[in-house]
Structure 1
Amino acid sequence: MNLPDIAIDRVVLGEHKTLKIYIHSTLEGTHCHRCGQPIDHAYGHGQEIKLRHLPLGEYKIVLFLRPKRYQCRSCEGHPTTSQTLFLYPASLYDERLRAAHAAGTGEQHA
């Protein structure tokens, strides 16, 4: 698939000729969304993100990713930030978090 900084965990053949590819980032760390400083204190994973990829012949490709989360120890309240990758814009993930939080089912994003 030639996706830099991504490793494949497993591939599942789904219905209607869909390949479900479960991936994770091989990068470590991100930048704090509040102060912008690099952070590397791991704090679990965010909610799973489902991304459509280019088809492979007659197969639809869907990527599944749980982004890594990191905690900033410099900012007051030690906020957490999810790692974003080139596969999706940060705004996509932020919109999903806001919607989940508004529905009362999402995780906190300080």
Structure 2
Amino acid sequence: MSKAQVSIPLEIPDVRILKTEINQRGDLIITVESTRTETHCRKCGQPISKFHGHDSWVTARYLPVFGRATYLRYRPRR
């Protein structure tokens, strides 16, 4: 039997979904990345368009999906 797929828009601008998974507790984990072409320097606050890597992974609680606790996971660019 094949797994059913459901598409649910996050409606978060400038974000692309990379992966979705369900962890051992049954929580939905959605891994995303930014599609923006610039960000702000974390030291001086000036806009930059050349990235130097990524910070550590951040996991943020999101709205429940089909009754499951849902989390967004991302790595901010720097």
**What is the TM-score of this pair, normalised by structure 1?**
0.57
Task: Tell me the distance in 2 between the aligned counterparts of 1:25 and 1:5.
Answer: 6
1:46 and 2:55 equivalent? yes
Matched pairs, number:
68
> For 2:22, which of 2, 5, 13 is the aligned residue?
13
Residue 41 of structure 1 aligns to a residue whose secondary structure is: coil
Q: Point out where structure 2 has 5 or more consecutive residues left out of the alignment.
A: 1-9
Q: Check the 8 A contact 1:8/1:21 in 2, yes or no.
A: yes
Q: CA deviation at 1:25?
A: 0.4
Aligned CA RMSD, in angstroms, stands at: 1.3
Partner of 1:23: 32
Matches within 5 A, 1:67-106: 67-69=76-78
Cα deviations by residue, 1:60-106 (Å, 9 ceiling, x for unpaired): 1111100111xxxxxxxxxxxxxxxxxxxxxxxxxxxxxxxxxxxxx
- Higher-RCO chain (CA-CA 8 Å, sequence separation at least 6): 2
Paired with 2:35 and 2:55, the residues of 1 have a C-alpha distance of 15
